[in-house]
A and B are shown apart, each in its own frame.
Chain A
Amino acid sequence: MSAPPVSGEQRIREAFAGASGRAALMPYLMGGFPTLADSMRIGEACVQAGADVIELGVPYSDPLADGPVIHAAGTAALAAGANLAGVLEVARAVSEGVPVVLMCYSNMVFAPGVDAFLERAARAGVSGLIVPDLPHGEAPEVREACERAGIAQVPLVAPTTTPERLAQIGADAMGFVYTVSVVGTTGERRALSEHFAEVIARTRASTQVPVALGFGISTPEHAAQAADAGADGVIVGTRLVRAAGEGADPAGAVGALVAELAAGLDAAR
């Protein structure tokens, strides 16, 4: 298979570089939640409100890295009939505006065969892939297939990651390194962990690609703090998924929050 004219990795790099001098804003949305049509509109609202990269969750039956809000959203999406084809439709629409990074648990990547999965994703315009239950030692097969498909395989690092592991992960990273700010699952926290700046700094020292911080970032203040501490991107998930599940106008609610987050990052520039 020949690589697409613009590789996913390149598109992601350009999005970080083009974030007008501020940290890239990277909203997460759950594909198919609350409905497929809503998630399509939410993605478009995020782009309108200043998102630089969209992280698109694929709902999964057993999401081990997710806290209760995203877990429940995934369950609801599946109950409402969401499937990979539907989520990739969202990816196709959103990727016309900004690069889309798919967040998908490993069994769904393996089920159809890694190459077949990635080929479908690439055709839908996906630029990157995050597999939250695929640590570095298990990743080579997926990483090589990602290279073939022109998709960046984005690794995660955690506060518990040892320096030796961090060096290996950082060296092999594509697109960006997803830096988990806390020891725990996804979810809102009142404040950023006290070690978040240190976590950003040590990830930065381990890699050539941009460093994005996620897990527990829910307010414009958190986003600004992460940017001040040197994060190239901030990922906001649970807060937005919660908003998507609450109101009568999910896209409006999420769009408003994303605009506030963008303003927070602009102010921190």
Chain B
Amino acid sequence: MSAPSREGGVEHRFGEYGGQYVPETLMPALAELEQAWLQARADPDYLQELDSLRRDFSGRPTPLYHAQRLSERVGHPVYLKREDLNHTGSHKLNNALGQVLLARRMGKRRIIAETGAGQHGVATATVCALLGMECVVYMGTQDTKRQQPNVQRMQLLGARVEPVDAGARTLKEATSEAIRDWVTNVESTHYVIGSVVGPAPYPALVRELQRVIGEEARAQILEREGRLPARVIACVGGGSNAIGAFAAFVPDEQVELIGVEAGGDGIDTPRHGAPLTVNSRAGVLHGSRSAIMQDEEGQILEAHSISAGLDYPGAGPEHAHLRDTGRARYVAVSDAEALDAFKAVTRLEGIIPALETAHALAWLLSAPGGELDIVCLSGRGDKDLAEVLGMGGD
């Protein structure tokens, strides 16, 4: 396996994590994808098209916003990296733009994706509409229910939403079903995986497409404050907004990197989505080895979170490696705490955050200390209104 490296190839392994645990049928497609990506990222035409779509279609660079009242509340300056202001309302468009452009270069005509909260599905459906490509999105039926507005958006955009009724009917099953579709249609189809999970080269590919978050934020904070932040805080389901926010800061060892997982009913119960925080045994899920929630025999357990985007029993392999090496720290926030932060930040800042993002904000609100923080505001929360109001939000 290739050693981690910044230039040249693409990492297959992050320490003991990562790899390519997929049916043989997919192996040539993974090699083809890796080659296409290595060529594309060295091709000025690809990079220019991606840059121009990021600027004119998505609205990048996104602002780094000094959240005054939130800062007052926690007692130190807090900046929000406003990924919610991307077109489609989250960081997911960064990855979808890069991958669908790549798929078109590879001559693929059909795009598939999995989605939990629906944000990745909407982003992928959006780029497919833009480029005139066929799009199928797999989504658990529990999620089609709790994220109904996003289902309607995807359908309006011309995507077919395939409901998945297996297991807990959430992101894990949607991902498994998307992989089965890819095994069947690999010759015509590109699978736009939505997070830094899956077999190599996906975790590295998605990180490279999301690292724009941290690169912009780093330059912005240096311009605004003349120094680096003490902490960068982001929520972690699979972990793509977090890796995107962290990547540019990893070499800055004085910057603490904090990933906030879904604590669900509490990490002392089985109902959570926090494999990194609770130090779950490593195992294989969806093509890579990482921290996953599993039983003694290796059956994958069902995760639980109020937030569909964090309701996943695994996390990206690079996160597991960042944890083991001590470069990043992972913590968990319960459903109730996330819900409180959702409401609090909405009223403090006039910004309705996604329930996923509310986990990062909840940790900020509850954790003592801090001096200069950046929180990745990964997405907007309009999609969550029904869920929040249904739970007695006022």
Contacts and interface: CB of A to CB of B under 8 A. Distances in A.
Interface string A149-184: 000000111111110010001000000000010011
A61 B167 contact: yes
B24 A183 contact: no
B59 interface: no
Given A110-B284, A111-B297, A133-B284, A185 B180 contact: yes
A154 to B, nearest CB: 12
Contacts of A84: 297
Contact of A134 (B21, B294, B298): B21
Contacts of B298: 105, 107-112
Q: Quick one: which of B22, B23, B24, B172 has the most chain A CB within 10 A?
A: B24
B9 interface: no
B106 to A, nearest CB: 15
Contacts of B24: 135-136, 155-158, 160-161, 165, 169, 180
Contacts, number: 116
A10 interface: no
Contacts of A230: none
B81 to A, nearest CB: 33
Given A160-B25, A160-B28, A107 B285 contact: yes
Interface in B275-298: 281, 283-287, 289, 292, 294, 296-298
A245 interface: no
Interface residues of A, number: 41
A133 B22 contact: yes
Given A107-B284, A183-B25, A67 B186 contact: no
A165 B284 CA distance: 23
B19 interface: yes
A106 B29 contact: no
Interface in B233-290: 281, 283-287, 289
Contacts of A132: 23
Nearest to A161: B24
B184 A185 contact: yes
Contacts of A106: 21, 284
A61 B176 CA distance: 10
Interface in B1-32: 1, 19-29, 31
B176 A135 contact: no
Nearest to B298: A111
B324 interface: no
B25 A75 contact: no
Contacts of A62: 172, 176, 285-286, 300
Interface of A: 60-62, 64-67, 71, 75, 78, 83-84, 105-112, 132-138, 155-162, 165, 169, 180, 183-185
17 contacts: A61-B300, A64-B23, A105-B284, A105-B298, A110-B289, A111-B283, A112-B297, A135-B27, A137-B1, A137-B20, A158-B23, A158-B25, A159-B25, A160-B27, A162-B31, A183-B187, A184-B183
> What 9 A-B pairs come out closest when comparing CB atoms?
A111-B298, A108-B298, A158-B25, A184-B184, A107-B298, A107-B284, A65-B23, A61-B299, A61-B300
